[in-house]
Structure 1
Amino acid sequence: MPDYFHGYAVVGLVAVVGVLFVAAAFGAGRLLRPEAPTPEKLLTYECGVDPVGEGWAHTQVRYYVYAFLYVVFAVDSVFLFPWATVFAAPGFGGVTLVEMFVFLGFLAVGLLYAWKKGVLAWT
């Protein structure tokens, strides 16, 4: 039984040492940094331009929808590369091909749904 918990003890010890290292680094940074707050330093910094007006900006939701669709299809396309390497291995041909067509079918249904809902219309 002690050998079973040895692996967990090592992982726990590494986690504790990591947390202590980060805490020590932040503590040293707090102790060593100069602190001279001025009104200019307390302003919000945005790309080297002084802030003008209020900080609230309106953006359209459709840009987030496009970004979300891109992320979904980009992540799904990542699964195509390992599939291509497994498909080339002997003994995986038919089963892997069917599984990938099912996977691509789900992607096609999602894309068709987004198209029918008008999400892909740029207007």
Structure 2
Amino acid sequence: MTDLVGHFLMFSLVGVIFLLAPLLIGLLVRPNKPTDEKISVYECGEPTIGTSYIQFDLRFYVVALLFIIFDVEVAFFFPWAMIFGGSMQLADAQLDHRAELSAKLLDQPATAATHEISRQTAMDIGLLGVGDILVFFSVLLVGFAYVWKRGDLDWVRAVAQEIQEKAKQDGPPVPAPLPIEQREPAPVA
């Protein structure tokens, strides 16, 4: 037990040293020459829209949330695939090791497999699994269609709409005054 604690403390100490050493070296070595350009706010090349209280375009946030939602939902396919694959193996008419596979699916030791899953039960489980995944996938598709219809995936169109709405609010553009060289002389009275 003491050996484990010693290893843990040594690992923690080395980790802290590896984290702090580059920061301290950088603090001592890097030059400190601030200019107006260096201390200005970096906006990723995006023109600002709205007030400065919103520090980033909200479309980044929406797209990130949509990615996380649909990415996490796909992770639910893996447990389903394991159960479906096992039940389809049991439904196979040419299977020789049915008792071992039944024990594995029922979470029992192979010697204590008193309950064996029949071919018909395995087929019923497989069909139920297909129905479940179709319902799950259809809910995902409905959510995707809603997001698509709402326009959250149309990045360029949203910018064009914002520009058009801003132009409508501002009114028609006012022509810029001509330079002095191009103006007609005022009539002399």
TM tier, shorter chain? 0.5 to 0.7
Structure 1 or 2, whichever has the larger Rg, is: 2
Q: Is contact 2:84-2:126 (8 Å) kept?
A: yes
2-side partners of 1:11 and 1:98: how far apart? 48
Counterpart of 2:34 in structure 1 is: 37
Superposed, 1:9-28 pairs within 5 Å as: 9-28=6-25
TM-score by length of 1: 0.55
State the Cα distance separating 1:119 from its structure 2 match. 6.8
- Aligned CA-pair RMSD: 4.4
1-side partners of 2:130 and 2:42: how far apart? 48
State the Cα distance separating 1:18 from its structure 2 match. 0.8
Q: Identity over aligned residues, as a percent?
A: 31
SS in 2 for 1:41: coil
Match of 2:69 among 62, 69, 72: 72
Alignment gaps of 5+ in structure 2: 90-100, 106-121, 152-189
Counterpart of 2:172 in structure 1 is: none
**Mean CA deviation greater in 86-95 or 75-84:** 86-95
Counterpart of 2:150 in structure 1 is: 122
Q: 1:17 to 1:69 in 2, by over 3 A?
A: same
State the Cα distance separating 1:73 from its structure 2 match. 2.7
